[in-house]
A = this chain, B = another copy of it.
Amino acid sequence: MSDVKKTTIVLFSGDYDKVMAAYIIANGAAAYDHEVTIFHTFWGLNAMRKDEPIQPDKTFLEKMFGKFMPRGADKMPLSKMNFGGAGQKMIKNVMKKHNAMPLPDLIELAKEQDVKLVACTMTMDLLGLKQEELHDGIEYAGVAAYLADAENGNVNLFI
């Protein structure tokens, strides 16, 4: 085990509150000089979606999935108390009042702090997501790369 601490998060969830928890821990760990990786898989991939409606060559079912899944972190629902989006709006308002960072800013901060953002290629296939729909400058990998990061890690979380 090297001297540098490592935090590796599998981000499976696509809920606003869980993604926020993941990025707050990631940014905190990066501030404490951890090497941090967030491995986005399944619904967590939606945090990496661009805001614009990109329609690459997709099958009908892929289009349907793409349409119903949130386009980017800012559009994700809460896992609880969402009330058709009202709960998410309340959380965002309170965050503004407390000068807390909204989720898209937490993601930008993670990039600035060199948190390694990875998209799981296998689940991209399953959900019909293409690289041109996702944020620029992220990495693409599979479970082997995840394990290589995690097996020497200090803080391993599945969110």
Q: Which residues of A contact B (CB under 8 A)?
A: 5, 7, 10, 12, 14, 17-18, 21, 24-25, 28-29, 32, 34, 41-43, 61, 65, 68-69, 79-81, 87, 90-91, 93-95, 98, 100, 122, 125-126, 128, 143-144, 146-147, 150-159
Q: Tell me the bound Cα distance from A158 to B158 in angstroms.
A: 6
Contact A157 B158 (CB under 8 A): yes
Chain B residues with CB under 8 A of A28: 143-144, 146-147
Name the contact of A152 in the complex, choosing from B65, B81, B154 (C-beta under 8 A): B154
Chain B residues with CB under 8 A of A153: 154-155
New contact pairs (12) apart from A12-B159, A17-B42, CB-CB < 8 Å: A5-B151, A10-B25, A12-B17, A12-B18, A21-B158, A24-B122, A65-B81, A68-B81, A100-B122, A151-B155, A153-B154, A157-B158
Nearest CB in chain B: distance from A51 CB, A? 20
Contact A12 B21 (CB under 8 A): yes
Given the known inter-chain contacts A147-B25, A152-B154, please indicate yes or no for A94 contacting B32, CB distance below 8 A. Answer: no
